[in-house]
Amino acid sequence: MNRAALVVDRLVAAYQVGLSPRKGWSCAHRVAHGGASCSAAVRQLVAGRGVVRSVVPTVVRFAACYQAAALLAQADVSGVCCCGGIPVPFRFRGRP
């Protein structure tokens, strides 16, 4: 793993350990489809492809997470889409 990939991996790992457990919601993609969270998927991408070659697949994954949030909206669920380091809260029908 090159230096840039190592930096990105460590930043995402710090997010996973420091912020993610405290934010109070799970990755919408993981909730809807199972498997790895977006942060875990990004770490795998960066480790396997490097930073530059991971940009497009990461954007695709975040778009899929956003779509998963929309899917969960139809199921009357609330939470947050973990689009990168920017949480996108969602609240759906019947929820205060």
Q: Rounded to whole angstroms, how far apart are CA atoms 71 and 86?
A: 19
- Which segment, 24-28, 48-52, 74-78, 81-85, is predicted with the most confidence on average? 48-52
SS (H, E, C) 16-82: HHHHHHHHCCCCHHHHHHCCCCHHHHHHHHHHHHCCHHHHHHHHHHHHHHHHHHHHHHCCCCCEEEC
Domain limits, the chain? 3-90
Give pLDDT, residue 80.
56
Looking at the predicted structure, is the pLDDT value of residue 77 above 90?
A: no
Q: What is the mean pLDDT of the chain?
A: 83
Rounded mean pLDDT, 40-69:
95
Q: How many residues appear in the chain?
A: 96
Share of the chain above pLDDT 70, in %: 77
